[in-house]
Amino acid sequence: MATATPVGSNPTLLATLRAAPASWARELGFAPGVAGQPASDIHIQERYTALLALHAAPPDPADEALVAFLLDEETRYHQAADHYRSALSLAALLAARYRTPAHLWAIWAARESSHDASVCVDSHLMYYAAGGMEAAAAYVKQCTKADILGGAKEGSARISWWRWFVEEHADDEDAAAEAVKKQVLDRIVHDEKYGVTEEKVVGFVESSWRTDTERWGQSLLPEEYP
């Protein structure tokens, strides 16, 4: 008996994207069709399809750069928008699945993209990316400004967030770096106080609710996932 194709699976799309990183900005980047209207983004459906294809497959090192790109583009969208879309949480989840500590800062920047995002993009994802709450705290304490920026390029969401944050700290980058590290460490303490544990972090990210590609599809592309 043939094995059913997983919902959202699109290995052809992923292979095409892996082979042509130079095309990502042109084909998947945040690009409002009407100035000042983020929801007119002409690539929103293509980006969602790519996110769902990535979610339907096990994390592959060959796709980690693509995931990071998509998270940054969703963060750019939310920096410009006045609303939240679940694609931001999905992109953050995909980054967290790599268990790469450096993704903690991309997820933090995503959370900082708007008030709604700070509520909806769960801090559990940062901890999972870093290998747990204790590991996240240890990682953040030793981070430098370069770690916080993570090689972000001009025009990226991370650079936009960082410039805003530095301005809030009298244009002092060293002070801003220490301040954002304190914010993340304070968040860890807060979450621990309210009962978040290493086990709950894993249970949150690996729950059937978050590993169900069809559920994400119903949220992002309801016309294709009725």
Residue 170's domain spans which residues? 11-220
Print pLDDT tens along the chain (226 aa): 445 567 799 999 999 999 999 999 999 999 999 999 999 999 999 999 999 999 999 999 999 999 999 999 999 999 999 899 999 999 999 999 999 999 999 999 999 999 999 999 999 999 999 999 999 999 999 999 999 999 899 999 999 999 999 999 999 999 999 999 999 999 999 999 999 999 999 999 999 999 999 999 999 998 888 6
Q: Is the dihedral of CA 71, 73, 75, 81 positive or negative?
A: negative
Whether 21 is covered by a domain: the verdict is yes
Q: How many domains does the chain have?
A: 1
Rounded to the nearest 10 degrees, what angle do helices 157-167 and 103-111 cross at? 70
Whether 15 is covered by a domain: the verdict is yes
Placement of tokens 């769960």 in the chain: 122
What does residue 32 show for φ and ψ, rounded to 5 degrees? Answer: -60, 135
What does residue 110 show for φ and ψ, rounded to 5 degrees? Answer: -65, -45
Whether 42 is covered by a domain: the verdict is yes
Whether 71 is covered by a domain: the verdict is yes
Alpha helix ranges (H) inside 5-132? 11-19, 24-28, 44-56, 64-80, 87-96, 103-111, 115-120, 124-130
Whether 3 is covered by a domain: the verdict is no
pLDDT in the model for residue 173: 97
Token pair recorded at residue 79: 């920096």
pLDDT in the model for residue 4: 57
Residue 142 CA from chain centroid, whole number: 22
pLDDT in the model for residue 64: 98
pLDDT in the model for residue 27: 97
Residue 221 CA from chain centroid, whole number: 18
pLDDT in the model for residue 11: 94
Whether 187 is covered by a domain: the verdict is yes
Q: How far apart are CA 92 and CA 96, in angstroms?
A: 6
Whether 6 is covered by a domain: the verdict is no
Q: How far apart are CA 23 and CA 157, in angstroms?
A: 18
pLDDT in the model for residue 2: 44
Token pair recorded at residue 75: 């963060």
Tell me the residue type at 20. A
Whether 225 is covered by a domain: the verdict is no
141 neighbors 123 (Cβ within 8 angstroms): no
